[in-house]
Amino acid sequence: MNTPIPMSAPDLTEAEITAVNAVLRTSTLSIGPQIQAFEQAFAAYTGTSHAVGVNSGTSGLHLAMIATGVQAGDYVITSPFSFIASANCILYERAIPIFVDVDPRTGNLDPALVAEAADALAAGGTAARRWLPPRLRDAGATGRLRALLPVHAFGQPADMDPLLETARNHDVAVIEDACEAIGATYKGRRAGTLGAAGVFAFYPNKQITTGEGGMLVTDYQGWDALFRSLRNQGRDVFDAWLNHTRLGYNYRLDELSAALGLAQIQRIEELLAHRAQVANWYNQRLADVELVERPFIAPTTTRMSWFVYVVRIQPPASRDVIMRRLADAGIPSRPYFTPIHLQPFYRETFGYGLGDFPVTESLGEVSLALPFSGVMREEQVDLVCQRLHAAVKQC
Ligand SMILES: Cc1ncc(COP(=O)(O)O)c(C=O)c1O
């Protein structure tokens, strides 16, 4: 019997184990040399002036929201086809996520709709009303657009040029959720470095992992200092011990995690290449499987950073039926993403329901993430594809 195929798995070597062990032999388990070295290596890799380590991608998104100066009741345009953290970080600052539907091919924000929404929100009144969450429509639009928060879903960059233009037209910041997209490039430029700040994440299913962890990158010196203060209970770099200048958080990345991250970023090209190889095996084997649509890569994506391998199950086959058949055959798979506006908290708080973002909803119904990691072997990909083929043949 073969060992079960996991949904995801980290790509670790002796180098990572040695690096973490070495930290355990010191007395500095937090705020030490490892985080500094990891940040320096990360900034060098992304080509940004600053990189600030935090204890999750979500923490990084929260701090980026604070840096934009967003106030309670302000608006931030973002994607409903994402992992929930990219919208929650807006709510942490009591601002309002304004969802805009996505491009049906990539699942990333549709830039034309974003421009329309930004113009309407600036105009206010009835023009703005349609873009507000249902429960807030009758209260009138009193907020101000403060930021755009595009997500590079599945490791594919959003169409950034028109989004950056909309942001310029409205004088608002762009914060990139690059949590799934380390190493991806858009027209030759690195995802996560195109806006005012970018956020990366290192959960164990990510391209590089620190266990839990994240990284903010920015070219603004002032934001670098602000992020360092906010992640460390509001102390300024020049603060005396236990002097807290502003409301801060404990979002620090510990030394063990940073050592792991440093060893991983040193292997980044190899890690991305492994994942690209696995995606390639899938692409080859699924080329002629009826009712299974392979991932679409936009012409603007000059490098895909494979985070997940997500296929679309076409009617008359049903994604949920295929998922059950795969599970019965011992193959895990997941719906990815479940639209954020349809999550119970968002339905209850904002009055969202089916029909609000049709493209996102249709993608949410057909998208199926197959087992995927850089350590997946060719025969495992073979097995998943055989079982998937068998599952759709019964439709
Ligand atoms: C698009 C996106 N945003 C944000 C996050 C949050 O990252 P973390 O789980 O490290 O808080 C993730 C990670 O799962 C993600 O995929």
| Final residue before a domain boundary, out of 265, 294, 309 | 265
The tally of domains found in the chain comes to: 2
Q: Are residues 118 and 243 in the same domain?
A: yes
- 204 lies in a domain? yes
Bigger pLDDT: 239 vs 296: 296
Q: Are residues 107 and 180 in the same domain?
A: yes
Asked if pLDDT for residue 1 goes beyond 80, the answer is no
Q: Are residues 362 and 312 in the same domain?
A: yes
For residue 197, give both structure tokens. Answer: 């700040």
- 7 lies in a domain? no
Q: Are residues 282 and 368 in the same domain?
A: yes
Residue 99 in contact with ligand 1 by CB distance below 6 A = no
How close is the Cα of 120 to the center of ligand 1, in Å? 29
Residue 85 in contact with ligand 1 by CB distance below 6 A = yes
pLDDT given at position 237: 75
Q: pLDDT > 70: what percent of the chain?
A: 98
pLDDT given at position 3: 80
pLDDT given at position 147: 98
**Average of per-residue pLDDT across 39-43:** 98
- 190 lies in a domain? yes
Q: Are residues 316 and 176 in the same domain?
A: no
Asked if pLDDT for residue 380 goes beyond 80, the answer is yes
Pair type for strands 75-78 and 96-99: parallel
- 162 lies in a domain? yes
Using pLDDT thresholds of 50, 70 and 90, give the confidence band for residue 138: confident
Whether this model's pTM surpasses 0.95: yes
Residue 82 in contact with ligand 1 by CB distance below 6 A = yes
pLDDT given at position 240: 66
**Average of per-residue pLDDT across 284-290:** 96
Using pLDDT thresholds of 50, 70 and 90, give the confidence band for residue 19: very high
pLDDT given at position 364: 98
Q: Which domain holds residue 342?
A: 268-393
Q: What's the CATH number where 60 sits? A: 3.40.640.10
Residue 151 in contact with ligand 1 by CB distance below 6 A = yes
Mutation choice for ligand 1 from 203, 205, 207, CB with most ligand atoms inside 8 A: 203
Q: What is the tens place of the pLDDT at every residue in 166-214? A: 999 999 999 999 999 999 999 999 999 999 999 999 999 999 999 999 9
Residue minimizing CA distance to atom 8 of ligand 1:
57
- 291 lies in a domain? yes
| Final residue before a domain boundary, out of 205, 236, 265 | 265
For the chain, what is the mean pLDDT?
Answer: 96
Residue 108 in contact with ligand 1 by CB distance below 6 A = no
Residue 201 in contact with ligand 1 by CB distance below 6 A = yes
pLDDT given at position 262: 98
Residue 176 in contact with ligand 1 by CB distance below 6 A = no
- 1 lies in a domain? no
pLDDT given at position 239: 66
Q: What is the tens place of the pLDDT at every residue in 234-283? A: 998 776 667 888 999 999 999 999 999 999 999 999 999 999 999 999 99
Asked if pLDDT for residue 334 goes beyond 70, the answer is yes
| Final residue before a domain boundary, out of 200, 234, 265 | 265
Q: Are residues 62 and 182 in the same domain?
A: yes
Q: What is the tens place of the pLDDT at every residue in 316-331? A: 999 999 999 999 999 9
